[in-house]
Amino acid sequence: MDTLFTTNLSLPLIQKGKVRDIYAVDEKRILIVTTDRLSAFDVVFDEAVAKKGAVLTSVANFWFEKTQHIVPNHLTHAPLSSVLNSAEAEQIKGRGIIVKKLKPLAVEAIVRGYLIGSGWKDYQNTGSLCGARLPNNLQLASKLPEVLYTPSSKAAVNEHDENIDFSATVAILGADLAQQVKDTSLALYQFAAKFALERGIIIADTKFEFGLDENGVLTLMDEVLTPDSSRFWSLTDYQVGISPPSFDKQIVRDYLETLDWDKTAPAPKLPQHIIDKTAAKYQQVQALLSE
């Protein structure tokens, strides 16, 4: 199956997110299905990107395995056939994973290595990035003097996250856990950025989500270092001063910025060539990482 827009499984549906459908398995596990739905600026589009869910699942699982020496993750490696009938398992093959049921933290851990997106707009307006003062001579897509941790509060489904400072994460999580999330996020980014750069990929920024397991251990969850949760650039095409050619859905974001659209639902219709280019970029970054 090249395209999966929605699912309807026999398990109880917990949540239908922008891209993922989440089902209950038992008291300790849930099933996450990554569909081919496309979202940008927190709005879901009517068009699907072929094989996107399979690519995202594969890339996330790749990184979960690569980073387990830094932090535990939610993977269980249980087969889909253990909780679904054969037809359902086949429907979500390559897109569904059975994972540990965690207590999610109400903070989204964002790490930025380059000046782009909302960070660039913030810098143009204030000379800072999420409160961190930056040098005056930076350009679009400049590498930051140091990697920055810029957390946000986790919004409800279909609502916008809001940038918060580190002290706000301390108020939400407590000092020790807030520091652990920050340190772990920076360690994950620095490890992944080095690994990807050796394969011709710049990770401009990314976001991590964490939960606590039944023993209160910090655990990486949801997705990690995918083209949906990160900005991936081609090292060979990278040039300061322009929005670099991208391996992710920045293609979609850049197109949307040309429209007279207020970034609220309903989403505008996307041209087929934008969808096709996006699908190709998702698959290209998967191939590069596995080299």
* pLDDT at 98 exceeding the cut of 90: yes
- Three-class SS state of 278: helix
- Quick one: which of 177, 209, 41 has its CA closest to 109? 209
Please tell me the distance from the alpha carbon of residue 247 to that of residue 131, in angstroms, as a whole number.
28
**Predicted local distance difference test score (pLDDT) of residue 253:** 86
Phi, psi of 136 (to 5 degrees): -80, -20
Phi, psi of 173 (to 5 degrees): -105, -20
Long-range contacts of 92-96 (CB under 8 A, 24+ apart): 92/4, 92/7, 92/9, 92/33, 94/53, 94/54, 94/57, 94/58, 95/4, 95/33, 95/34, 95/35, 95/53, 95/54, 95/57, 96/31, 96/32, 96/33, 96/34, 96/57
More confident residue, 205 or 164: 205
Which residues are registered as beta bridge partners of 236? none
Look up the pTM and report it: 0.91
13-100 against 103-251: fold identical: no
For 103-161, write each residue's pLDDT tens digit: 999 999 999 999 998 899 999 999 999 889 999 999 999 999 999 999 998 765 545 56
- Quick one: which of 279, 258, 281, 280 has its CA closest to 268? 258
For 208-254, write each residue's pLDDT tens digit: 999 999 999 999 999 999 988 999 999 999 999 998 887 878 789 88
- Three-class SS state of 240: coil
Residue 290: band (very low, low, confident or very high) from pLDDT cuts 50, 70, 90:
confident
Domain ranges for the chain: 13-100, 103-251
Average pLDDT (172-190) is: 98
Residue 1: band (very low, low, confident or very high) from pLDDT cuts 50, 70, 90:
low
**Predicted local distance difference test score (pLDDT) of residue 246:** 78
Find the length of the chain. 291
Please tell me the distance from the alpha carbon of residue 160 to that of residue 152, in angstroms, as a whole number.
10
Give the architecture-level CATH label for domain 13-100: 2-Layer Sandwich (3.30)
Report the topology of domain 103-251: D-amino Acid Aminotransferase; Chain A, domain 1 (3.30.470)
Going through 49-166 in order, the beta strands assigned E by DSSP cover 96-100, 103-104, 107-114, 128-129, 132-133, 143-149, 152-153, 162-163
Identify whether the C-beta of residue 161 lies closer than 8 Å to the C-beta of residue 152: yes
